[in-house]
Amino acid sequence: MESNVRAGVYGGSGYAGLDLVEILIGHPRIDLVFATSNTYAGDEAPGANLRYSTADSVSLEQVDVIFLALPHKASAAMAKRGIDKGVNVVDLSADLRLDTPEAYEQSYQSPHPHPELLPTPYGLPEINRENIAGADVVATPGCYPTTTLLGIYPLLQVNALCEETAIIVDAKSGVTGAGRKPSLATHFAEVYGNLIPYKTGRSHRHIGEMEQEAHKVSDRIGPIIFCPHLLPVDRGLMSSIYVTLNDTMESDQLHELYAEIYGSEALVDVLPAGEQATLRHAVKTNKCVISITPVLPRHAHITSVTDNLRKGAASQAVQNMNLMFGFDETMGLI
Amino acid sequence: MESNVRAGVYGGSGYAGLDLVEILIGHPRIDLVFATSNTYAGDEAPGANLRYSTADSVSLEQVDVIFLALPHKASAAMAKRGIDKGVNVVDLSADLRLDTPEAYEQSYQSPHPHPELLPTPYGLPEINRENIAGADVVATPGCYPTTTLLGIYPLLQVNALCEETAIIVDAKSGVTGAGRKPSLATHFAEVYGNLIPYKTGRSHRHIGEMEQEAHKVSDRIGPIIFCPHLLPVDRGLMSSIYVTLNDTMESDQLHELYAEIYGSEALVDVLPAGEQATLRHAVKTNKCVISITPVLPRHAHITSVTDNLRKGAASQAVQNMNLMFGFDETMGLI
Amino acid sequence: MESNVRAGVYGGSGYAGLDLVEILIGHPRIDLVFATSNTYAGDEAPGANLRYSTADSVSLEQVDVIFLALPHKASAAMAKRGIDKGVNVVDLSADLRLDTPEAYEQSYQSPHPHPELLPTPYGLPEINRENIAGADVVATPGCYPTTTLLGIYPLLQVNALCEETAIIVDAKSGVTGAGRKPSLATHFAEVYGNLIPYKTGRSHRHIGEMEQEAHKVSDRIGPIIFCPHLLPVDRGLMSSIYVTLNDTMESDQLHELYAEIYGSEALVDVLPAGEQATLRHAVKTNKCVISITPVLPRHAHITSVTDNLRKGAASQAVQNMNLMFGFDETMGLI
Amino acid sequence: MESNVRAGVYGGSGYAGLDLVEILIGHPRIDLVFATSNTYAGDEAPGANLRYSTADSVSLEQVDVIFLALPHKASAAMAKRGIDKGVNVVDLSADLRLDTPEAYEQSYQSPHPHPELLPTPYGLPEINRENIAGADVVATPGCYPTTTLLGIYPLLQVNALCEETAIIVDAKSGVTGAGRKPSLATHFAEVYGNLIPYKTGRSHRHIGEMEQEAHKVSDRIGPIIFCPHLLPVDRGLMSSIYVTLNDTMESDQLHELYAEIYGSEALVDVLPAGEQATLRHAVKTNKCVISITPVLPRHAHITSVTDNLRKGAASQAVQNMNLMFGFDETMGLI
């Protein structure tokens, strides 16, 4: 019997980190060696038989793989250290998602701290599985790009979109998506009973990776008009996607297309025609759930939902790790 | 000193009816004579010094104007009776909103009960003020059409939209929009923590009136792709509107256009450029609040919010009544 | 290898039924043969590879044990049928919880439909384990009695309560506790932002079983003053219990008492002194979580929380079934 | 016609400050001259035609009365300055509520910054009206003491409580009660779906003022056992009070007692017997709403609700100001 893979989590007390610890604890081939949290060092990590350590008090020698749920920049630095020590790295931050330092600088308004790490395989297994399997470092996508890209991927693959028309993505996320650090924007009394558009007008940093990855599949598409909203719930993310087709397909053929392309995917559910994906389809699951609604012959409405902390972060990180180590891709996830 | 207008509310215990009673009680020129509720007859109408009556126990002789917050079909019949008696009618149902019996039948799948009442002036004062003033009967628009039409009206007026491209309306409404009658769809435990698309694919009955009224202002527009969502809050409605412009304007000119067209409107607020309309801007107010975000030179994102029970129903009904009786349009509303 | 126990669920589409199906599907020694739902017959039971059947279309011959999540009265009738056929019965209704037909009639204002079934072992394993093990039929307690009785049981066992003083239980439950049948009381817009006391003044039917079981442990106690509140969340139940001690103990000794009595219980967690039980400690778990706060030497405040659908219903039913069939008591539950 | 009273608000951007500004703007005899906010200086105060000033940029010469919605200690210092300048002071902080420096030090663990200001009239008009009328400075009570004291005041007045038994107060407050400063405890995702007891075991600072004022009315009472809970709503406060009577009264006589004592109070509503006060009875109103439930002959359950930001803070401050200036007590409040 093979010995387990020893894992460490950096940033284990943020919302993604908490879910990551929970999933890794239940993973049959992982021994969770440490979870760091400078804020909560010494406290018990909920659900794990483990206390948080400071980042300084743990060593890369103890582990085979590290998960980085750190602020951006801190993450790249740690990734670099891990790679140099021969430890596998699953990064959940934005640091390694963009292929070039220039793209990074454009989205994040500062030079990339470790341009030598780019490009890193983009960790969206349903689209990029072959580059993840066996990689030493993987960049787990953001929650919005995951949900949105899975929602349009079949259309990109068959080049069915009208090039002259924008892809409209009206997205809504639960508040855990904004992180655990207190702020007025996440104060209960500010969010309760409210619905708040934010980072409007293509200002959200996730647009860069969405377009980068979409264009790798098809360059015959219009711009992505993306607007996120803060939803008064704790978890769950919905991308409501409105697309215009070119003349190669009509909207009533889309369901079959999606059903075929995702037919063998364990972590993407395409709902039966006529059924609508709701937030709750995905909350506390590790799946992306998609419904397709033909609106007019050339217009379709696609609803794609995930749990922003699971398929949008922690469980997708574990899915990537499974591929990196040659485990069954869904091990510990279904 | 002129005597007050005597008003009656039919359907005073539904959510729109409750707000209507509250507004009328505070209106300086109205005496609220009765509010009917077959379910709650005998109970006190909250906030009013008045008990609900059954519809049978009140008489049109007692009043100068009736507000109808009744189920559709029941509303048309009552409107007919009111008109025949010379009583002014402000209808809040869908019965009188469509101009022709054919259009009604198409949206509501059954013949119009009183085709002789059509067309009735469409009660969206900011667009149709001159036809409402002095009318005997007015059809108060639905909450989605109100919010959406006000969100695009300036663009229609100057014919700034690209004819070949759809107008995308991703809308979200609080649960009171679904009415007060209990159902599994409005059960707390089904809605809580959820976000639910419904009546997708142009199946929502409000699309008919939206397109009818939009086309009266401009017929050079693409189709309206409208999808509503049930939001886990009690009140408030947001229409997130994504438009493509033709070559007569660029998106950074829109704010000025909106500011000009709505500059003199007391019940429409255009937020300063760069500020986003949130649900809470409108909840418990009688206003429609709009923000405009240029996304790309030819693409703009407009957020239009109302309280679905106020500007989306009850307060707009009172605004119409004010116009019908020659009162100041915002009397009792600001 | 022994063959699995074949189970059927009657009433599988109510909230407790849904959790029951989910737990049984994951239980290693159970084969779930059917789940009935007259309302949803033909639909898929969520999470189970199974469609709901009507109650008429299934047979007791197919199963070894039935779980009854039926309305009261219907449940007793079905229990009777099961017992007569030699099928084990885990009842989740109130029908079999009271020991005598007289007590039932007092709480439920009508004669007991099957007095020959009384008394049935009361299925609160931490207090009554020996009578449940090996029984053919068990009455699973209500959510309020479970949470409250576990909160005071150690005090009862050592006779530490002041006989002249009432035990005050201010309880709060999520809306699933009110069942899935739509009603105005559970309409989202009525519950949202609200907190509603109900069944005040000892009128709640669960008081009978609370006092019955409390008195079996100690008859030297004052009355239980119990008031439930409807909390605007979907799940979770908190009993806030205020007790006055007699002179055998002081409040700072209680933590040790509770820790000792519950030390070996896998499904009751006593929090460390100084830590407070919150609703979230129990939601979506199968445990009862308890905190004890000394207030004055003779006064203590105990917070006891459960998930009303789990330890307050479905998981406790499975815990009982485990005992009845000689399985490990927590099989399928941790 | 008399000129208006010129008012200034210190701390106008906290939750109580926001409501205070809103109420003062609508008050017929007040001119709101300034509202300070060091955090939001320069921003518009919502709903007021006024921008926030820094505290340094305004002068006491500009006003006749100041409202202090400041952190404790800062409030006492400002009160002192106001009094020295001959400006009336309505303090909303805790600084002036306790009668002696010793009591303050016991509750707040540090010496009182201005002991010469003590005692200050306690601003609960229904109990202490005569000392507020004409005072130059008033200490507006905390939200919990207001709600709780009004809930038991009639019992205190007639000495109906059993001296040997504790008064149990299980209280629940919306999140605005915790202030607007961001913290993990008020992060949306921590509060959502949760119910959190806090400051348990008589550690809440409001207990001092509750007992001080209760004892002024009756010293023949037991201790107050008070435990607050954080409720997942934005506004509203419920005190659930469980009392034991002595032999002078039975619980079914209480309703009449309350109805009589509060019969002439415009801002306290005693609900008809059999009706329960819910949170929503008070939210966004300036009233305290009370229901009384006899449980056993000597046991009663009283539910007292307020809006923690209104009768629990801002509107009570204005009620006090009305008394201080000889206005009608409810001016601007109903």
Q: Looking at the complex, does the CB of residue C191 fall below 8 Å from at least one CB of chain B?
A: yes
> Among residues of chain A, what percentage have pLDDT more than 70?
100
Cβ contact, residue pair B195, A295, below 8 Å: no
Q: Which residue from D195, D236, D299 is facing C278, i.e. has the nearest CB?
A: D195
CB crowding D228-259: b at 16 or more within 10 Å, else e: bbbbbbbbbbbbbbbbbbbeebebebbbebbb
pLDDT at C12 over 80: yes
CB C126 within 8 A of CB C262: yes
List the catalytic residue out of A143, A162, A227, A288: A143
Residue C175 one-letter amino acid: V
Q: Looking at the complex, does the CB of residue B131 fall below 8 Å from at least one CB of chain A?
A: no
Nearest CA in chain D to A177: D189
Question: What are the contacts of B256-262 at 24+ separation with CB within 8 A?
Answer: B257/B154, B257/B155, B257/B158, B257/B160, B258/B154, B258/B290, B258/B292, B261/B153, B261/B154, B261/B157, B262/B126, B262/B154, B262/B290
How many beta-carbon contacts under 8 Å exist across A and D?
59
| Structure confidence at residue B1 (pLDDT) | 59
The angle at the Cα of C305, spanning C303 to C311, to the nearest 5 degrees, equals 145
The ranges assigned to domains in chain A are: 5-140+313-324, 144-306
Three-state secondary structure call for residue A60: helix
pLDDT at C140 over 80: yes
In total, chain B counts a number of residues equal to: 334
Secondary structure element (H or E) that encloses residue A129, with its range: helix A125-132
pLDDT tens string B196-234:
999 998 888 899 999 999 999 999 999 999 999 999 999
pLDDT tens string B254-273:
999 999 999 999 999 999 99
pLDDT tens string B144-196:
999 999 999 999 999 999 999 999 999 999 999 999 999 999 999 999 999 99
pLDDT tens string A100-148:
999 999 999 999 999 999 999 999 999 999 999 989 999 999 999 999 9
To test the contact with chain C by mutation, choose from D195, D233, D246 the residue with the greatest count of C C-beta atoms within 10 A, namely D195
| Structure confidence at residue D181 (pLDDT) | 94
| Structure confidence at residue D1 (pLDDT) | 59
Average confidence (pLDDT) over C9-18: 97
Using CA atoms, how far residue B166 sits from A152, B181, B221, D322, in Å, is 18, 35, 8, 58
Q: Which residues of A touch B166 (CB under 8 A)?
A: 242, 244, 296, 299
| Structure confidence at residue A49 (pLDDT) | 86
Q: Which residues of C touch D207 (CB under 8 A)?
A: none
| Structure confidence at residue C203 (pLDDT) | 86
pLDDT tens string D210-233:
999 999 999 999 999 999 999 999
Q: What pLDDT band is residue B48 in, cutting at 50, 70 and 90?
A: confident
Cβ contact, residue pair A189, D180, below 8 Å: yes
Is B143 among the residues known to form the active site? yes
| Structure confidence at residue B203 (pLDDT) | 86
| Structure confidence at residue C1 (pLDDT) | 60
Q: What pLDDT band is residue A1 in, cutting at 50, 70 and 90?
A: low
How would you class D49 by CB atoms within 10 Å of its CB: exposed for 0-12, middle for 13-18, buried for 19 or more?
exposed
| Structure confidence at residue C271 (pLDDT) | 97
Q: What pLDDT band is residue C47 in, cutting at 50, 70 and 90?
A: confident
pLDDT tens string D270-298:
999 999 999 999 999 999 999 999 999 99
- CB within 8 A of D288, min separation 6: which ones? D146, D147, D150, D151, D267, D268, D269, D282, D304, D305, D306, D311
How many beta-carbon contacts under 8 Å exist across B and C?
58
Nearest CA in chain B to A280: B194
Q: Looking at the complex, does the CB of residue D81 fall below 8 Å from at least one CB of chain C?
A: no
CB crowding C10-40: b at 16 or more within 10 Å, else e: bbbbbbbbbbbbbbbbebebbebbbbbbeeb
222-281 in B: which are within 8 Å (CB) of C?
232-235
Euclidean distance between CA atoms C259 and C271, whole angstroms: 9
> Among residues of chain C, what percentage have pLDDT more than 90?
96
CB C292 within 8 A of CB C326: no
Cβ contact, residue pair B176, C193, below 8 Å: no
Q: What pLDDT band is residue C202 in, cutting at 50, 70 and 90?
A: confident
Lowest mean pLDDT among A239-253, B44-58, D21-35: B44-58
CB B197 within 8 A of CB A276: yes
Residue B57 one-letter amino acid: S
Taking the complete model, does pTM exceed 0.90, yes or no?
A: yes
pLDDT tens string C69-82:
999 899 999 999 99
CATH fold of the domain at A5-140+313-324 = Rossmann fold (3.40.50)
ipTM of the complex: 0.96
Q: Looking at the complex, does the CB of residue C201 fall below 8 Å from at least one CB of chain D?
A: yes
pLDDT tens string C163-184:
999 999 999 999 999 999 999 9
> Among residues of chain C, what percentage have pLDDT more than 70?
100
Nearest CA in chain B to C185: B182
Q: Which residues of C touch B189 (CB under 8 A)?
A: 15, 174-176, 180, 186, 234-235
Report the mean per-residue pLDDT for chain C: 97
Residues of chain D falling short of pLDDT 70 = 1
Q: What is the 3-state secondary structure (H, E, C) of chain C?
A: CCCCEEEEEECCCCHHHHHHHHHHHCCCCEEEEEEECCCCCCCECCCCCCECECHHHCCHHHCCEEEECCCCCHHHHHHHHHHHCCCEEEECCCCCCCCCHHHHHHHHCCCCCCHHHCCCCECCHHHHHHHHCCCCEEECCCHHHHHHHHHHHHHHHCCCECCCCCEEEEEEECHHHHCCCCCHHHEHHHHCCCCEECCCCCCCCHHHHHHHHHHHHCCCCCCEEEEEEECCCCCCEEEEEEEEECCCCCHHHHHHHHHHHCCCCCCEEECCCCCCCCHHHHCCCCCEEEEEEEEECCEEEEEEEECCCCCCCHHHHHHHHHHHCCCCCCCCCC
Chains in contact with D, counting 3 or more C-beta pairs less than 8 Å apart as contact: A, C
Chains in contact with B, counting 3 or more C-beta pairs less than 8 Å apart as contact: A, C
| Structure confidence at residue A324 (pLDDT) | 98
Token pair belonging to A1: 């019997």
Q: Which residues of D touch C291 (CB under 8 A)?
A: 197
CATH fold of the domain at A144-306 = Dihydrodipicolinate Reductase; domain 2 (3.30.360)
Cβ contact, residue pair C180, B189, below 8 Å: yes
